[in-house]
Amino acid sequence: MSVLRLYNTLTRSKEDFVPIDPANVRMYVCGPTVYDFAHIGNARPIIVFDVLFRLLQLRFGKEHVTYVRNITDVDDKINARAAERGITIRELTEGTARVFHEDVAALGCLPPTVEPRATEHIVEMRDLIERLVARGIAYVAEDHVLFSPAKMDAAGGGLPRYGALANRSLDEMIAGARVDVAPYKRDATDFVLWKPSKPGEPSWPSPSGIVTEGRPGWHIECSAMSWQRLIKDFAGKIRCEAADANTFDIHGGGIDLVFPHHENEIAQTCCALETARMANVWMHNGFLQVEGEKMSKSLGNFITIHELLHDKTFGGRSWHGEVLRLAMLRTHYRQPIDFTLKALEEAEKTLDRWYALAAKAEGTDTPADSFLATLQDDLNTPAAVAELFSLFGSETTLAQAIASARLIGLLQLAPSEWAAAKQSWGNVDAATVEALIAARIAARASKNWAESDRIRDELVAMGVVLKDNKDGTTSWEVKR
């Protein structure tokens, strides 16, 4: 099998992937903060790292790969949202996590090997924080514990430079820091490891030196969970050089997490565990936008995974998870992705064709070498999909085509199941169409032409063709 090459944000280059211990390949990906439904942008890292997880399993063996993706269940946004909805924090986080699991399963993603929750790892967070204070790199002030990047850089001793991942210097960061710095911070670049809890907020016994109870900052959560689940849980099992004892293989997340989140994770872990590297390879997916615009609630183009799969919000209909998955994989993970209705429609047509071909296939095979070669080149999924088109183009490679598609989480249904599922999601809902037509007639009656045109466009986007008759009635049909 050709070598696996991955782009490493830390070195800004594509490198051959060499695991520390091939019998225990270890990957950590920052998971969701469970205060609201996940949106289709959040689906991107989940899908990208699911493809990598599957590829690593193929290369190193299923039982030799550990994929940890956390759930952040302690956070200011969680407290605020629970209060707003008048429910307990636990009800909010459990409910949101449940929907998240349903969503990502529908996208064809395997569950991670371990899914730790931040609130289950407070002890490790305190442990790391106390080590940092003992080493003089963190300090206690007004019931907070703060990490000092300046102290880290002064410590030397084989530690990485603060800012190495984001490729920024501390001087630049000081210059760029906001002026309204919290009074308990010695330097503007210091960041919070632990903070006091207000009455009613979740709280835990604080690190030594603080009597009142408090709660962790966000960054320390991932340092603690990755340490417990990928280092401590493997104590005595990893065969490696002493210098690699506190390092795991791959750390991933969206590009927005490079700074400050991942930079701070590295700072905390490396200083507390006295290691030069937290993870060897740092991978980041590009951002997703919708029809050329940033996705945001205020622009009204904010789409949750749940809506896309179950409601008729995008293009007036719902979509199967594999359609979203294929549409995403047609863009390389490091590129920005423009999420469009057209891309979904094309992906669906492609899957229709592949499922129809799969129904005729006999026997099974292994993924094609040509396909694997593209995938192993820094997960070049657009090239891999192009390869699938050619493999599906010939009857002699059909069985290989199916095995290749399945490797990246496509064609997971039986062809008959796909056909049955289509009945239930692809259809335009007649009641919705009738309601829109009635609204359009009303708009026309009140001479609101702009609104009437807007509704017509919405219907067109749903694939509905209107036939206006002279007597003012309107009939319609769906064109695909």
Residues 9-38 that bind ligand AMP (CB under 6 A): 30, 32-33
Q: Does 202 bind ligand AMP (CB under 6 A)?
A: no
Q: What are phi and psi of 85, to 5 degrees?
A: -90, -5
Contacts of 93 (CB under 8 A, 6+ apart): 34, 35, 71, 73, 78
Q: Contact with Zn ion (CB under 5 A): which of 222, 230, 388, 398?
A: 222
Which one of ligand AMP, Zn ion, none interacts with residue 321, CB within 5 to 8 A by kind? none
Which one of Zn ion, ligand AMP, none interacts with residue 222, CB within 5 to 8 A by kind? Zn ion
CB of 119 to ligand AMP, least distance (A): 17
CB of 30 to Zn ion, least distance (A): 3
Nearest to 73 by CA among 32, 38, 18, 30: 32
Neighbours of 427 (CB within 10 A): 12
Angstrom distance (rounded) from CA 78 to CA 35:
5
Closer to ligand AMP by CB, 379 or 391: give it.
379
Q: Contact with ligand AMP (CB under 6 A): which of 7, 17, 24, 45?
A: 45
Angstrom distance (rounded) from CA 275 to CA 163:
16
Q: Does 295 bind ligand AMP (CB under 6 A)?
A: yes
Angstrom distance (rounded) from CA 47 to CA 57:
15
Tell me which residue has its CB nearest to ligand AMP: 254
Nearest to 1 by CA among 50, 55, 52, 49: 55
Q: Does 30 bind Zn ion (CB under 5 A)?
A: yes
Neighbours of 294 (CB within 10 A): 13
Q: Contact with ligand AMP (CB under 6 A): which of 8, 9, 24, 42?
A: 42
Which one of Zn ion, ligand AMP, none interacts with residue 42, CB within 5 to 8 A by kind? ligand AMP
Name beta bridge partners: 67.
Answer: 27
Binding residues for Zn ion, how many (CB under 5 A)? 2
Closer to ligand AMP by CB, 202 or 253: give it.
253
Binding residues for ligand AMP, how many (CB under 6 A)? 15
Q: Contact with ligand AMP (CB under 6 A): which of 6, 28, 44, 229?
A: 44
Contacts of 403 (CB under 8 A, 6+ apart): 364, 365, 366, 367, 368
Query: In Å, how far are 45, 236, 329, 457 from 338, measured between CA atoms?
Result: 15, 46, 12, 21
Q: For CA atoms 286, 291, 292, 293, give the dihedral sign.
A: negative
Which one of Zn ion, ligand AMP, none interacts with residue 288, CB within 5 to 8 A by kind? ligand AMP
Closer to Zn ion by CB, 68 or 401: give it.
68
Angstrom distance (rounded) from CA 236 to CA 245:
10
Q: Contact with ligand AMP (CB under 6 A): which of 91, 256, 311, 369?
A: 256
Which one of Zn ion, ligand AMP, none interacts with residue 193, CB within 5 to 8 A by kind? none
CB of 103 to Zn ion, least distance (A): 20
The per-residue DSSP string of 28-51 comes to EE---BTTS--BHHHHHHHHHHHH
User: What is the binding site for Zn ion (CB under 5 A)?
Assistant: 30, 222
Query: Under the rule (CB under 6 A), what is the footprint of ligand AMP?
Result: 30, 32-33, 41-42, 44-45, 253-254, 256-257, 285, 287-288, 295
